[in-house]
Amino acid sequence: MADPLVIFTPSGKRGRFAVGTPVLTAAQQLGVDLDSVCGGRGICSKCQITPSYGEFSKHGVSVQENALSEWNSVEQRYDDKRGLQKGRRLGCQATIQDDVVIDVPESSQVHRQVVRKRAEARDITMAPAIKLFYVEVEQPDMHDPSGDLERLIKSLRADWQLPHLTADFSILRGLQPTLRKGGWKITCAVHLEENRIIHLWPGFYEGSIYGLAIDLGSTTIAAHLCDLQTGEITASAGIMNPQIRFGEDLMSRVSYSMMNPGGDLEMTKTVRDGINTLISDIAGEGQIDPAYIMDVVLVCNPVMHHLLLGIDPFELGQAPFALATSDALNLRATDLSLKLNPASRVYILPCIAGHVGADAAAVALSEAPDKSDDLVLVVDVGTNAEILLGNREKVLACSSPTGPAFEGAQISSGQRAAPGAIERVEIDPTTKEPRFKVIGSDLWSDQAGFDDVVETTGITGICGSGIIEMVAEMRLAGLLDGPGLIGSPEQTGTARCFQDGRTYSYLVWEDEARKITVTNRDIREIQMAKAALYSGARLLMDKFGVDKVDRVVLAGAFGAHISPKHAMVLGMIPDAPLDKVTSAGNAAGTGARIALLNTKARRDIEATVQSIHKIETAIEPRFQEHFVNASNIPNAVEPFPILNSIVTLPDVNFNTGGGETPNRRRRRRTS
């Protein structure tokens, strides 16, 4: 009689195995993705499976109730202690008795999927750099002397088919006591790319190990603490980048380094200290020991990249904007003075070019324009905007110096996105009266109960997405002309426009404590920023040889809150159907998380970055041209398609203002 047939789902892998073969063994022999940390010793419970019973399964196999061995004492003990979901068995305990169909639930797969929230995003397949392995080690024998480490490595090779491992220097001291404390049973964290043992626990370690995905921005540092076994986000935290005291934007920091000998090292220490604060915060929030954070993936722009690494960013402040190094980096946490496990590793994504950093590479990893069938424009809006345009055929990248206006900085009433900040605005085209919403409340300012909002959070300023809506609404209401001048009370017919030095400002709101206005200087800042962004996108479109894109993805924390309609009114982004403009949230952070959870993704993005066509806006005459043309806010002479209908903007012209060129702008920023 033939051996029983075993079919695994969802893989469909099948084979015949002798009666009495443990399910885990069968799975391993067939290469079925079934997890195990303890190697089949009934300790870890990672190998849970669900047999399908029933006369005929969908695979046409008759499965008897007794197709697997009886529930045994190990399973009973585990069930008593921790509870085993109904119908589940431990794959290392249940043995094959007859033909059977066995389902491997998602949670028992090593390479399980971590589901991303956005519909259009691909799931993440778990394949982290570090995995836990439990082994039992031979005791030392005077007749055949060998090192404890060498016997440990031998067990790991024999039980887990791992290649020859080496030990991180940091584990040597604890090795002997740990082996003896665990009675020659030990759990090892192994870095699978370096083939290196990086941490040890006596006996079977029931806890998890963690990784940190860090998005190191010029203004904020944000991180996700991820469980490297499940892929789940254990905690998230963010802090202000403490480097801000050396300059709000990157060029100010480059200047600081140029003007102050040793200034770069001062900034290096500051940002590393900042990351250490964040590590401490997030470990506290996740209630874990920071020593169990064993892998870190870091993304950042080139200036932050160099400052973090201890490289003077001097060369990035001047043509030809040469990076010291652009490839991905595999470092030790100690290289960066990070207070983690001494064996913790840091992976930094590759930079694309002197102005297009590892953060842009992370956006490319998350949004994968290189795998898109339609032509996608990905814009990561920050102090510097990184822009990607491409499809399966090719991908182009550039960066554009938008400045911090989109983040609420250098705007008279601007502020960071926080409770009390105006984030949504509408201006009545007839009365010119504004209504708005602030962060922390769902009420519009003209709705009942808004006074309570004022009481609670106050109206503290306008955040980045609010200022975009504000300017676009002012244009739509005829308070602003195409070149960007605010009209006088006479020209606009509202007292909210008032003389403010040589130009006019618009009063949004005031009480005893505070007066929130939009000045003409604010308008100029937004015009410069949006022109830079638009020109970058247009330049890439020129290079690609297209004059429209199929879809637009807005990335960045700011991108998540932006109103596509207002962005298009403002002329920030090229025209596209409104339903094809989506937000990817913090795509750089997501890219970092993907690289943290899947080492193959690291190899992918390294290859992708090599093939991306880098465009340096600073040397492209077309960029200057686009910039000059884009500083105006589109007016009635240029009909503007929104939702495939034409919106005609008021044909007003309050005066003629002098423009600023991108080069003048660059000079101003670096001086």
When asked if residue 142 is in the footprint of a copy of itself (CB under 8 A), the reply is yes
Choosing from 186, 197, 275, 311, the residue that interacts with a copy of itself (CB under 8 A) is 311
Tokens, residue 655: 């005066």
Q: Output 298 or 594, the one with its CB closest to a copy of itself.
A: 298
Strand partners, 396: 389, 613
Binding mask 267-296 for a copy of itself (x = CB under 8 A): ------------------------------
Closest approach of Cβ 298 to a copy of itself, in Å? 14
Closest approach of Cβ 137 to a copy of itself, in Å? 11
When asked if residue 261 is in the footprint of a copy of itself (CB under 8 A), the reply is no
When asked if residue 83 is in the footprint of a copy of itself (CB under 8 A), the reply is no
Residue 250, C-beta contacts closer than 8 angstroms, at least 6 positions apart: 218, 301, 303, 304, 313, 383, 384
When asked if residue 172 is in the footprint of a copy of itself (CB under 8 A), the reply is yes
Tokens, residue 591: 């890219």
Tokens, residue 321: 């904007």
Q: Please answer whether residues 383 and 358 qualify as being in contact, where contact means their C-beta atoms are separated by less than 8 angstroms.
A: no
Binding to a copy of itself (CB under 8 A) within 546-585 occurs at: none
Choosing from 273, 500, 575, 616, the residue that interacts with a copy of itself (CB under 8 A) is 616
Q: Please answer whether residues 34 and 24 qualify as being in contact, where contact means their C-beta atoms are separated by less than 8 angstroms.
A: yes
Binding mask 176-205 for a copy of itself (x = CB under 8 A): xx----------------------------
Euclidean distance between CA atoms 467 and 464, whole angstroms: 5
Q: Please answer whether residues 575 and 568 qualify as being in contact, where contact means their C-beta atoms are separated by less than 8 angstroms.
A: yes
Q: Output 126 or 297, the one with its CB closest to a copy of itself.
A: 297
Choosing from 114, 167, 395, 396, the residue that interacts with a copy of itself (CB under 8 A) is 167
| CB-count exposure of residue 340 (10 Å: 0-12, 13-18, 19+) | buried
When asked if residue 332 is in the footprint of a copy of itself (CB under 8 A), the reply is yes
When asked if residue 326 is in the footprint of a copy of itself (CB under 8 A), the reply is yes
Closest approach of Cβ 393 to a copy of itself, in Å? 20
When asked if residue 621 is in the footprint of a copy of itself (CB under 8 A), the reply is no
Beta strands in 364-408 (DSSP E): 376-380, 385-390, 395-400
CA angle 446, 493, 531 (to 5 degrees): 80
Q: Output 331 or 417, the one with its CB closest to a copy of itself.
A: 331
Closest approach of Cβ 334 to a copy of itself, in Å? 9
# residues contacting a copy of itself (CB under 8 A) = 45
Choosing from 30, 74, 110, 175, the residue that interacts with a copy of itself (CB under 8 A) is 175
Q: Please answer whether residues 376 and 391 qualify as being in contact, where contact means their C-beta atoms are separated by less than 8 angstroms.
A: yes
Q: Please answer whether residues 553 and 523 qualify as being in contact, where contact means their C-beta atoms are separated by less than 8 angstroms.
A: no
Torsion of CA 38, 40, 46, 52, to 10 degrees: 180
Euclidean distance between CA atoms 111 and 129, whole angstroms: 12
Q: Output 150 or 510, the one with its CB closest to a copy of itself.
A: 150
Q: Please answer whether residues 272 and 242 qualify as being in contact, where contact means their C-beta atoms are separated by less than 8 angstroms.
A: no
Closest approach of Cβ 271 to a copy of itself, in Å? 15
Q: How many CB atoms lie within 10 A of CB 433?
A: 13
Q: Output 148 or 473, the one with its CB closest to a copy of itself.
A: 148
Q: Output 145 or 658, the one with its CB closest to a copy of itself.
A: 145
Q: Which of 314, 339, 336 shows the shortest CA–CA distance to 324?
A: 314
Choosing from 81, 86, 117, 143, the residue that interacts with a copy of itself (CB under 8 A) is 143
Closest approach of Cβ 327 to a copy of itself, in Å? 6
Choosing from 203, 263, 310, 577, the residue that interacts with a copy of itself (CB under 8 A) is 310
Complete edge-to-edge strand list for the sheet that includes strand 130-136: 130-136, 185-191, 196-202, 166-167
- 612: enclosing H helix or E strand: none
Q: Output 175 or 647, the one with its CB closest to a copy of itself.
A: 175
Cα dihedral 78, 79, 84, 87 sign:
positive
When asked if residue 518 is in the footprint of a copy of itself (CB under 8 A), the reply is no
b (16+ CB within 10 A) / e for 551-589: bbbbbbbbbbbbbbbbbbbbbbbbbbebeebbbbbbbbb
Q: Output 240 or 322, the one with its CB closest to a copy of itself.
A: 322
When asked if residue 140 is in the footprint of a copy of itself (CB under 8 A), the reply is yes
Binding to a copy of itself (CB under 8 A) within 520-549 occurs at: none
Q: Output 105 or 140, the one with its CB closest to a copy of itself.
A: 140
Choosing from 145, 261, 449, 621, the residue that interacts with a copy of itself (CB under 8 A) is 145
Closest approach of Cβ 228 to a copy of itself, in Å? 24
**Coil, helix or strand at residue 25:** helix
Q: Please answer whether residues 293 and 228 qualify as being in contact, where contact means their C-beta atoms are separated by less than 8 angstroms.
A: no
Instruction: Compute the chain's Rg from CA coordinates.
Output: 30
| CB-count exposure of residue 413 (10 Å: 0-12, 13-18, 19+) | buried
When asked if residue 148 is in the footprint of a copy of itself (CB under 8 A), the reply is yes
Q: Output 280 or 337, the one with its CB closest to a copy of itself.
A: 337
When asked if residue 320 is in the footprint of a copy of itself (CB under 8 A), the reply is yes
Q: Output 115 or 319, the one with its CB closest to a copy of itself.
A: 319
Please tell me the total number of residues recorded for the chain in this structure: 671
Backbone angles phi, psi at 225, to 5 degrees: -95, 120
Closest approach of Cβ 181 to a copy of itself, in Å? 13
Binding to a copy of itself (CB under 8 A) within 345-404 occurs at: 351-354
Closest approach of Cβ 351 to a copy of itself, in Å? 7
When asked if residue 173 is in the footprint of a copy of itself (CB under 8 A), the reply is yes
When asked if residue 611 is in the footprint of a copy of itself (CB under 8 A), the reply is no
Closest approach of Cβ 326 to a copy of itself, in Å? 3
Q: Please answer whether residues 208 and 227 qualify as being in contact, where contact means their C-beta atoms are separated by less than 8 angstroms.
A: yes
When asked if residue 477 is in the footprint of a copy of itself (CB under 8 A), the reply is no
Closest approach of Cβ 155 to a copy of itself, in Å? 14
When asked if residue 324 is in the footprint of a copy of itself (CB under 8 A), the reply is yes
Give the range of 22-30, 33-41, 420-428, 615-623 binding a copy of itself by CB under 8 A.
Answer: 615-623
Backbone angles phi, psi at 308, to 5 degrees: -65, -40
Give the range of 166-174, 241-249, 435-443, 655-663 binding a copy of itself by CB under 8 A.
Answer: 166-174
Q: Which of 405, 434, 444 shows the shortest CA–CA distance to 558?
A: 405
* Site of interaction with a copy of itself (CB under 8 A): 139-150, 167, 169, 172-173, 175-177, 309-312, 314-315, 319-327, 331-332, 335, 351-354, 614, 616, 618-619
